[in-house]
Amino acid sequence: MKALSERQTRRRAVERIRRECERQKAALQGPVAPGVWHNPRVYLAVIAGLAVLGGAIFRATDRAARRNAEPPHRRAMRQVDVLAEALGRYRFHVGTFPDAGQGLAALVRDPQVPRWDGPYINQLRRDPWGTPYVYGPASNGLPVLLSCGADKILGTVDDIRPDPACFDPGTEWTNGWVSAAERLPGVTVLPSRP
């Protein structure tokens, strides 16, 4: 009998030690058991949560950007004025406005005319409605320059023209003007291809 009670006492002691070990182990592991991270469902839930969070952030910033965006007609007016000023600078250097064959591309690439000292703009963009700006050679002193506007039809009331004063930028800007070769060291301005 003594052997039986010793066995029971040992079993109880081992069981008590095991329970105490489990309790301490659970206390050390915290609220999430390490085995949870081996479950693919947890990863899917985390990815879904991040996607929802990213979508909410995108929607909030997109709304703010649209709210602060410049209206297309105002952007077109600003861009047409910039093109008119660049044409005025072109005329200051070359002596005339670009002809119809050269067009507005003469502001970006050298059209192989004497005294061209550009580029006068970095790139030629389309208007806010996706149509190219209309340019025609000078008649009565100033060239035809306009955006067709929202309806994309030339000759309607929504055509956007520059302020005529923009074609004559004055000479204040020439004080700090540096030719393209000096402005862009190490860069060669190549002639435009026909």
Instruction: Report all structural domains of the chain as residue ranges with CATH numbers, in order of start.
Output: 2-68 (no CATH), 72-176 (3.30.700.10)
- Cβ neighbors of 84 (< 8 A, separation 6 or more) are 145, 162, 163, 166, 167
Q: What are phi and psi of 65, to 5 degrees?
A: -65, -40
- Give DSSP secondary structure letters for the chain: -HHHHHHHHHHHHHHHHHHHHHHHHHHHH-SS-GGGGG-HHHHHHHHHHHHHHHHHHHHHHHHHHHHHSPPHHHHHHHHHHHHHHHHHHHHHHHSS---TTTGGGGGTSB-S-TT----SSS-----TTS-PPEEEEEETTEEEEEB-TTTT-TTSTT-B---GGGG---SGGGGG---HHHHSTT---PBPP-
Beta bridge partner(s), residue 136: 144
What is the band of 194 on the pLDDT scale with cuts at 50, 70, 90? very low
* The pLDDT value given to residue 48: 94
Under 8 Å between Cβ of 83 and 91: no
SS3 string, 8-58, reads: HHHHHHHHHHHHHHHHHHHHHHCCCCHHHHHCHHHHHHHHHHHHHHHHHHH
* The pLDDT value given to residue 54: 92
Tens-digit pLDDT profile for residues 130-142: 999 999 887 778 8
- Average pLDDT score over the chain: 81
Tens-digit pLDDT profile for residues 57-102: 888 887 767 766 778 888 888 999 989 988 888 888 888 889 888 8
Q: Which residue has the higher pLDDT, 147 or 174?
A: 147
* The pLDDT value given to residue 185: 56
Tens-digit pLDDT profile for residues 21-62: 888 877 776 665 666 677 788 888 999 999 999 998 888 887
What is the band of 190 on the pLDDT scale with cuts at 50, 70, 90? low
Lowest model confidence (mean pLDDT) among 20-29, 164-173, 180-189: 180-189
Q: What average pLDDT does the segment 152-174 reach?
A: 80
